[in-house]
Amino acid sequence: MPKTLDILLEPLDNERLSNLCGTLDENLRQIETAYDVSISRRGEHFALRGHPSQSVLAHKALKHFYAQADEHLTVDDIQLGLVELANLSQASQSAPALLTRKSDLHGRTPRQVQYLRQIQDFDITFGVGPAGTGKTFLAVASAVDALEREHVERIILTRPAVEAGERLGFLPGDLSQKVDPYLRPLYDALYDLLGFERVGKLFEKGAIEIAPLAFMRGRTLNHSFIILDEAQNTTPEQMKMFLTRIGIGAKAVVTGDLTQVDLPRGTRSGLREAVDVLSNVRGIAFTEFLREDVVRHPLVARIVEAYEKSARRREREQARKRKEDDTHDPA
């Protein structure tokens, strides 16, 4: 039963209140969405309407952000702060420091911190989980950190675009232009972490390279930080080929979401097979992200949860149908 919780934010500071609420109360709308409550206010007086337990959480969030509101709070600040509030482990305090243009970059959840530590400690790391959990962005941030600290000589980005590479010929432009649409999320992360001009210069020097997965056969990648993104769309043969390209002084990070496999029906995902085959191989680390690790819009976590529930329902229905078929089978 929804109830109303009245709160007062003290001490009164109109500038802090303005920073907390954001333009047209856009920050308050983010908090409403995150906790499924409605928020109304008059001055420093706030009324939270929703389930009592959710209203209490929203109250804590308002107090938390009010304490931080000595400067303007953006929607990004609110959304990332909500993720940290949902993970009360103080993960950011124990997260490895990364040398990038974003000084406040760190793991926001325990599994993100674990992922960053594994990337630093292991030569091959798998990050598997739903969209929005930071798998790709944190991998690129770790690659930038390794390049800035001169732990590696170059960053290599790869992603399965098409099978065997033959379809790339139907796209206009040179090789880089053909695969750019598939690698756009990696480019966006690089621009965010290094700046547009710096990324352009590093591409010119060969310190950052795009390497279509289909064209990597026969290479040995030494002293490189290699990121294979969208690995759920590799075949087992492609995954084995990629993992055996890794040379001396190299690190590899493989990211993917096993709920979004786009391979033809009946084709086993190379990422799924790698998780099964390599789980006990010494020197390889795995991080399995959950919906609690989503660091995008608060609705993304709910979308992931809804799809997970739907998949579980389908599995139960299929199991029930198989059981009924077995019962009625005269054999």
Choosing from 86, 119, 135, the residue where a domain stops is: 86
Angle at 93 between CA 90 and CA 94, to 5 degrees: 100
**Same domain flag for 284 and 139:** yes
Q: Tell whether the model's pLDDT for residue 177 goes beyond 70.
A: no
3-class DSSP state of 261: coil
Token pair, residue 160, equals: 């399965």
pTM recorded for the entire structure: 0.67
47 in a domain, yes or no? yes
**Same domain flag for 252 and 131:** yes
Say what the pLDDT of residue 165 is. Answer: 38
**Same domain flag for 248 and 162:** yes
44 in a domain, yes or no? yes
Q: Tell whether the model's pLDDT for residue 213 goes beyond 90.
A: no
**Same domain flag for 82 and 105:** no
* 234 contacts 242 by C-beta, under 8 angstroms: yes
**Same domain flag for 129 and 257:** yes
204 in a domain, yes or no? yes
122 in a domain, yes or no? yes
Provide the number of structural domains found in the chain.
3
| Residues in a beta bridge with 285 | 125
**Same domain flag for 114 and 27:** no
91 in a domain, yes or no? no
What pLDDT, in 10s, does the model give residues 20-77?
Answer: 999 889 899 989 988 889 999 888 899 999 888 889 989 989 998 999 888 888 888 8
Q: Which CATH number is 268's domain given? A: 3.40.50.300
Say what the pLDDT of residue 162 is. Answer: 47
How do 224-228 and 154-158 pair as beta strands? parallel
In the chain, alpha helices (H) = 14-21, 26-35, 52-68, 75-86, 91-94, 110-121, 135-148, 175-194, 196-205, 236-243, 270-278, 298-328
What mean pLDDT, rounded, does the chain reach? 84
**Same domain flag for 67 and 106:** no
Choosing from 86, 110, 129, the residue where a domain stops is: 86
Chain centre to alpha carbon of residue 287: 12
Say what the pLDDT of residue 193 is. Answer: 92
324 in a domain, yes or no? yes
Average pLDDT over residues 184-212: 89
Say what the pLDDT of residue 211 is. Answer: 78
CA 139 to CA 255: how far, in whole Å?
8
136 in a domain, yes or no? yes
Say what the pLDDT of residue 121 is. Answer: 92
Say what the pLDDT of residue 324 is. Answer: 77
Q: Which CATH number is 64's domain given? A: 3.30.1370.10
**Same domain flag for 210 and 169:** yes
92 in a domain, yes or no? no
| More confident site: 252 or 134 | 252
**Same domain flag for 262 and 153:** yes
Chain centre to alpha carbon of residue 38: 28
Q: Which residue has the tokens 């009625």?
A: 328
Choosing from 66, 86, 106, the residue where a domain stops is: 86
CA 228 to CA 242: how far, in whole Å?
8
Q: Which residue has the tokens 């299929």?
A: 318
**Same domain flag for 115 and 241:** yes
Crossing angle of helices 270-278/236-243, nearest 10°? 60
What pLDDT, in 10s, does the model give residues 132-167?
Answer: 888 999 999 999 999 999 999 999 999 886 443 345
**Same domain flag for 112 and 35:** no
Give the residue among 261, 290, 299, 256 at the shortest CA–CA distance from 275: 256
| More confident site: 77 or 228 | 228
What pLDDT, in 10s, does the model give residues 303-324?
Answer: 877 887 888 888 888 888 887 7
**Same domain flag for 192 and 252:** yes
* 260 contacts 128 by C-beta, under 8 angstroms: no
Expressed as residue numbers, the domain containing 211 is 97-296
Q: Tell whether the model's pLDDT for residue 276 goes beyond 90.
A: yes
Q: Tell whether the model's pLDDT for residue 275 goes beyond 70.
A: yes
Average pLDDT over residues 216-242: 92
In 122-252, alpha helices (H) = 135-148, 175-194, 196-205, 236-243
